[in-house]
A and B are shown apart, each in its own frame.
Chain A
Amino acid sequence: MESSTSPPASTGPSTPTTGPASRRSRAGAGLSPLKRFLTLREGSIVVVTIITFVYFAATTPHFLTGANFKTLLPYFAPFAIIAAGQVFVMTLGEIDLSIGAMYLWTPFLFWKLVTSAHFPLVLAVIVSLIVAALLGAVSGYLIAYIGIPSFVTTLGMLFVLDGVTLIVSHSEQVTTPGTSVTHVGTFASILGGGTYSELIWAIGIVIVLQALLSSTRWGLYTVAVGSNKIGSAEAGIHTKLVIVRNFMLCATTAGFVGLLEAIRTSTASPDPSGSNTVLLQAIAAVIIGGTLMTGGAGTVVGALIGALFLGILNDGLVIKGVNANYEDLYLGLAILIAMLVNIYIARVRKGAGRG
């Protein structure tokens, strides 16, 4: 099972990982350690990320500094979380285009709940996340039960949520409740405001979701439905339920990242074009990380590393002082090159007798 071939570290201490490590060494017996590493689904993006990192570290004096590390975090941690949710949808062979809009809309819901309905902060966070999950359930229902393609369903959801956001906010930026520009309280420092808050959330969520994907029925059925939907149903798996709950998970992570970012920056801006960038970067992280767009195989850890790669690239280009007009061009080329390397290594993997 490919999705279980994640580094053991990623599945966390609480996960019984009798499998991955021992199994892999058996399956990869006879290969050099390097080749064996490259046969991991995440192997190639790890290599690409390290090369990128070394390149910037060697050519840019300010890259390897603590200050820059802090600058890098917001370039990467939020995408890692949002991509982790998307992995569950893309492993099904589906796609959720509404994650950016969910990211945009959830802080405004949170803001409304606190300012208009006078919810306490924590309760407002919880209710906001529940609403995100329910909206994910609506998409999932339309896809699994009614049969509307996920591309169309979530595109509709994208515009609906963008629209609602503009209406609710009157197209104006708002101050995120529970934050202030001058002082970071406990609430804010835990939920995105603290320097390492997003990083800790990202690592925690990635560990939990990778364990979910590779070590539980939920994950096994996600791979099964993504690989053979009819066969899964014949085996007795409730395939529609699997689809709905993965869309709920994906929507919830997107909403959660929206809240973290709104709290970190103390403001929420109703800017749909910004949220579309979030969507595209998250999808890029998932695919670069090694999840198959056609479904049947996915990796949360890979998506995290994919997000790290994009973060390093974004940050590195800024520090290098690349003309802002060239940034997108370089980013696009780098993504294409990373994918080429991925595919090349996937061939090596096939040649080595591993799918």
Chain B
Amino acid sequence: MAELEYGGEKIIGPGRADDDVLRLEHISKRFGATQALRDVNVHLRKGEVLALLGDNGAGKSTLIKILSGFHKPDGGTMWLKGGAYTPKNVDDARRQGIDTVFQDLALVDELSVFHNLFLHRERLYSPLPFLNNRVMRREARKRLDEIGINIPSLDVPVARLSGGQRQAIAVARAIASESEIILLDEPLAAMGAKEGAMILDLIARLKAETSISMILILHNYAHVFASCDRVSLIQNGVVSFDRPTAETSPDELNEIVVEEYRRARAAAQGQLTS
């Protein structure tokens, strides 16, 4: 993996492995005046769990949304299993095997648990256009039992559920789609220790029992080192650090982040004094 230096800034160049399922090179994305991503290079190997770290506003969610087909990148190239990957929308990405748990979960508060689990994947009484609630309710129960999530009633609107239960439903929805790649944007946010452990167990099980590849956005280093094979750090819209978890340590990651704070503080003070 090439580490390039641009004006004192470290940027991880395009990397690759023979068993890559996904590869992103030179991805950039701007929202109005905000350059969210400048030159992002990421690759993901089959069955690998990649942790994506970065400060608030670093561009992690933006990257996930580009991968999930929600945003289009301004520049750069993406490959999925060797072929060019240009998802037209979220559905298209899902069809190609990439499913996402968004940071905001994409749940509809007013709808029931099972309608949320099947949102935009509804079962119908084909050929009639009517929703087959019975089948959806039954399958929802089965799925939630399988992954060990306890939700007393599938009929209550999800607005009634705890943060952890909501998170679990969003995760259950993504992993049910038989995708080969699952993107999870802060899947442990809003979770208590017990619920968080349940999701981490689930990720470990998926990793052990399937060949699903995952990108996880996490904040807690303990989680990163417990669950992930590799870690990439996004700073200022670029990936500035990329290493297998076996070859780095929480201390090293901390060091990098502290350094980032130091530079940000210096820059802020420079602005104040000038």
Contacts and interface: CB of A to CB of B under 8 A. Distances in A.
Contacts of A355: 110, 157, 159-160
Most chain B CB neighbours (cut-off 10 Å) among A221, A224, A226: A224
Interface string A182-223: 000000000000000000000000000001000111101101
A99 B102 CA distance: 38
Nearest to B129: A216
Contacts of A297: 110
B180 interface: no
Contacts of A23: 133, 155
Given A231-B105, A234-B90, A234-B104, A1 B129 contact: no
Interface string A236-255: 11000000000000000000
A2 to B, nearest CB: 6
Contact of A296 (B102, B109, B120, B156): B109
Given A26-B155, A236-B90, A18 B133 contact: yes
A236 B65 CA distance: 12
A16 interface: yes
Contacts of A27: 153, 155-156
User: Main SS of chain B's interface residues?
Assistant: loop
Interface residues of A, number: 33
Interface string A1-34: 1110000000000011011000100110000000
B77 interface: no
Most chain B CB neighbours (cut-off 10 Å) among A27, A211, A235, A297: A235
Contact of B131 (A220, A232, A234, A237): A220
A235 to B, nearest CB: 5
A319 interface: no
Contact of B130 (A215, A228, A234): A215
Contacts of B133: 18-19, 23
Contacts of B108: 223-224, 227-228, 231-232, 296
A16 B130 contact: yes
Nearest to A11: B130
B107 A228 contact: yes
A246 B153 CA distance: 31
Contacts of B155: 23, 26-27
A182 to B, nearest CB: 44
A231 B155 CA distance: 20
B109 A234 contact: no
A237 B115 CA distance: 13
A216 B131 contact: yes
A233 interface: yes
Given A1-B157, A19-B133, A23-B155, A227 B111 contact: yes
B249 interface: no
Contacts of B153: 26-27
Interface in A239-283: none
Interface of B: 68, 70, 89-91, 94, 100, 102, 104-112, 115, 119-120, 122, 124-125, 128-134, 153, 155-157, 159-160
28 contacts: A1-B110, A1-B112, A1-B157, A3-B110, A16-B130, A16-B132, A18-B133, A19-B131, A23-B133, A27-B153, A215-B131, A216-B129, A217-B124, A220-B122, A223-B110, A224-B111, A227-B108, A227-B111, A230-B104, A231-B104, A231-B105, A231-B107, A232-B119, A233-B70, A235-B119, A235-B120, A355-B157, A355-B160
